[in-house]
């Protein structure tokens, strides 16, 4: 009997402590939630878009390092007036030079193929232009867009390569600081 | 004379815009400035209540705009301070009754005769906000250390930055509760300033005196002993360009700190 009462008392005291611990965090919880929500407000990046960005980043970076895809952390952070995109990737293993080369060559080949396809498509659109001008205009626009994205990709590849040169550590922290104009521009 | 037009805004309702307006206006007038307050919250006017002027209003801003009276006729003088007056909002009309241009025009006219024109902005970011901001070149963004208020303040700051006419904006953090901050239950002033990365102009502690002062129609700055009143008076001094240190609210609550301060003063080593 006495043992039970003691145990109950102990649990009660313990739960009291647990509660105060939780309450102590209310400020941090508020601050962190607010940070996330403000970044979304300021950048117009919805959770879905962030998810997509994350996925694309994983695809891109996986070419160079073997990493824990689930543990990749993507956060937007405010550093004074500057907005920064914080990327934290636990690296499982650095890839061999050969592996990376093979991967890149494979990709270059694919790129060439798609480019060739694009040229074909362009030729097609030129034909289509004669018949329907409006439609072809739209297509050209989308092509331009994809080109832009490809350019962006090659830029970030260079950055990653630089980072790769430094020795592989278990967890490598990369900071991709975006020259995104300060938050207020979103309006 | 060219007066300064300051809009007091917040985004979120209920954070103390109107209270701030009444108190800063009264404090500025007490310091010898000629002050006019414009309530632009058409349909939901309250500034008159906080100043205890609700029974003296004959004409409103809508009457001025629709030329039923002259601008000067619509200005209601404060009970105590002849330097202070109010241009009340119409209670029976909505936000469309006055345009941005008309408000700009009113502010321009008032600038000639007054040192400060304080514009009380309605909550929200719609036309009412646009109107209130139209004539102003400075802004005070009122917020509290709560998530929703800070988020809305961030939105407002974004909108203010996009406005060319607004040359500067400052942050006023209202309803600060040092005890809750101390126990880590509430975001601190520093947290809010960091998140919004805006310059601070005032920290106002939560004060039950605000409720009684509102009920009496008597701004709390008239109460010399009130901590919130002192904080508002300090804001007014900062607006006038004085360099006034912020009240250390935590010190006020801790007896030990008070004793320590007392002794350090005795020794003459006050930090």
- Per residue in B47-72, pLDDT (tens digit) is 999 999 999 999 999 999 999 999 99
Q: Which two tokens stand for residue B269?
A: 């080593």
Q: Are B40 and B120 in contact (CB under 8 A)?
A: yes
Q: For the residues B85-93, what does the mean pLDDT come to? A: 93
Cβ within 8 Å, pair B186-A27: yes
Q: For the residues B93-109, what does the mean pLDDT come to? A: 92
CB-nearest partner of A27 from B155, B184, B197: B184
In this structure, is residue A9 part of a structural domain? Answer: no
pLDDT at B226 over 70: yes
In this structure, is residue A165 part of a structural domain? Answer: yes
Give me the pLDDT at residue B230, please. 95
Give me the pLDDT at residue B256, please. 66
Is the CB of residue A183 less than 8 Å away from at least one CB of chain B? yes
pLDDT: is A55 or B141 the higher one?
Answer: B141
Give me the pLDDT at residue B268, please. 64
Give me the pLDDT at residue A144, please. 47
Domain of A108, in residue numbers: 44-186
Cβ within 8 Å, pair A31-B184: no
Shortest Cα–Cα distance, A183 to chain B (Å): 7
In this structure, is residue A30 part of a structural domain? Answer: no
Find the closest chain A residue to B187 by CA distance: A27
Give me the pLDDT at residue B233, please. 96
Is the CB of residue B208 less than 8 Å away from at least one CB of chain A? no
pLDDT: is A1 or B169 the higher one?
Answer: B169
Q: Are A56 and A176 in contact (CB under 8 A)?
A: no
- Band (pLDDT 50/70/90 cuts) for residue B133 is very high
Is the CB of residue B191 less than 8 Å away from at least one CB of chain A? yes
Give me the pLDDT at residue B235, please. 97
Is the CB of residue B198 less than 8 Å away from at least one CB of chain A? no
Q: What is B4-267's CATH number?
A: 3.40.50.300
Element (H, E) at A172: strand A171-176
Chain B positions in Cβ-Cβ contact with residue A44 (cut-off 8 Å): none
List chain A pLDDT tens, one digit each, 187 residues: 567 777 887 777 766 666 555 444 788 899 888 888 888 888 877 778 888 888 888 888 888 888 887 777 777 766 666 777 778 888 888 888 888 888 888 888 888 888 887 777 777 766 666 555 554 444 444 444 444 444 444 444 444 444 444 444 444 444 444 443 344 443 3
Give me the pLDDT at residue B3, please. 94
* Residue B141 burial (CB count, 10 A): 26
**How many separate domains does chain A show?**
1
pLDDT: is B166 or A47 the higher one?
Answer: B166
Q: For the residues B17-33, what does the mean pLDDT come to? A: 96
In this structure, is residue A164 part of a structural domain? Answer: yes
In this structure, is residue A6 part of a structural domain? Answer: no
Cβ within 8 Å, pair B154-A41: yes
Give me the pLDDT at residue A20, please. 55
In this structure, is residue A57 part of a structural domain? Answer: yes
Give me the pLDDT at residue A38, please. 86
Which stretch of A44-48, A147-151, B144-148, B257-261 has the lowest confidence by average pLDDT? A147-151
* Residue B102 burial (CB count, 10 A): 18
pLDDT at B213 over 90: yes
Give me the pLDDT at residue B254, please. 58
- In the 3-class helix/strand/coil scheme, how is chain B assigned residue by residue? CCCEEEEEECCCCCCCHHHHHHHHHHHHHHCCCCEEEEECCCCCCCHHHHHCCCCCCCCCHHHHHCCCCCHHHHEEECCCCCCEEEECCCCCCCHHHCCHHHHHHHHHHHHCCCCEEEEECCCCCCHHHHHHHHCCCEEEEEECCCHHHHHHHHHHHHHHHCCCCCCEEEEEEEEECHHHHHCCCCCCHHHHHHHHCCCEEEEEECCCHHHHHHHHCCCHHHCCCCHHHHHHHHHHHHHCCCCCCCCCHHHHHCHHHHHHHHHHHHHCCCC
Residue spans per domain, chain B? 4-267
> How does DSSP assign A100-153, residue by residue?
HHHHHHHHHHHHHHHHHHHHHHHHHHHHHHHH-HHHHHHHHHHHHHHHHHHHHH
Q: Are A67 and A91 in contact (CB under 8 A)?
A: yes
């Amino acid at each position: 009997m006495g043992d039970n009462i003691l145990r109950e008392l102990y649990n009660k005291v313990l739960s009291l402590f647990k509660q105060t611990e939780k309450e102590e965090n209310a400020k941090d919880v508020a601050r962190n939630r607010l940070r996330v929500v403000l970044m979304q407000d300021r950048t117009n990046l919805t959770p879905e878009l962030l998810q997509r960005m994350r996925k694309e980043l994983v695809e891109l970076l996986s070419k160079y390092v073997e990493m824990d895809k689930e543990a990749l952390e993507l956060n937007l952070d405010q550093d004074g007036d500057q907005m920064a995109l914080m990327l934290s990737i636990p690296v499982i293993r650095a890839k061999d030079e050969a592996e990376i080369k093979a991967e890149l060559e494979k990709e270059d080949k694919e790129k060439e193929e798609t480019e060739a396809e694009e040229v074909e498509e362009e030729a097609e659109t030129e034909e289509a232009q004669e018949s329907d001008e409006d439609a072809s205009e739209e297509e050209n626009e989308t092509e331009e867009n994809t080109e832009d994205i490809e350019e962006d990709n090659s830029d970030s590849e260079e950055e990653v390569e630089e980072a790769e040169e430094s020795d592989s550590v278990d967890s490598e922290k990369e900071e991709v600081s975006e020259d995104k104009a300060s938050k207020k521009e979103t309006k | 004379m060219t007066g300064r037009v300051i809009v007091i805004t917040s985004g979120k309702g209920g954070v103390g815009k109107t209270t701030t307006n009444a108190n800063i206006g009264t404090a500025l007038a007490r310091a010898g400035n000629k002050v006019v307050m414009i309530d632009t919250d058409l349909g939901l006017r309250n500034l008159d209540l906080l100043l205890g002027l609700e029974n003296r209003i004959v004409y409103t801003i809508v009457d001025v705009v629709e030329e039923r009276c002259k601008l000067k006729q619509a200005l209601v003088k404060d009970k105590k301070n002849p330097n202070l007056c109010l241009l009340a909002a119409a209670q029976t009309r909505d936000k469309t009754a006055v345009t941005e241009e008309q408000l700009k025009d009113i502010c321009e006219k008032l600038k000639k005769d007054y040192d400060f024109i304080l514009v009380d902005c309605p909550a929200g970011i719609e036309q009412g906000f646009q109107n209130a901001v139209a004539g102003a070149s400075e802004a005070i963004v009122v917020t509290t250390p709560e998530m929703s208020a800070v988020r809305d303040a961030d939105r407002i700051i974004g909108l203010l930055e996009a406005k060319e006419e607004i040359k500067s904006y400052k942050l006023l953090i209202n309803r600060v509760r040092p005890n809750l901050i101390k126990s880590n239950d509430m975001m601190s002033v520093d947290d809010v300033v960091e998140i919004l990365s805006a310059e601070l102009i005032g920290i106002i502690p939560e004060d039950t005196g605000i409720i009684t002062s509102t009920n009496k129609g008597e701004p709390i700055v008239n109460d010399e002993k009130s901590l919130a009143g002192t904080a508002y008076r300090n804001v007014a001094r900062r607006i006038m360009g004085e360099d006034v240190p912020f009240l250390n609210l935590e010190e006020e609550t801790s007896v030990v700190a008070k004793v320590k301060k007392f002794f350090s003063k005795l020794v003459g080593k006050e930090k």
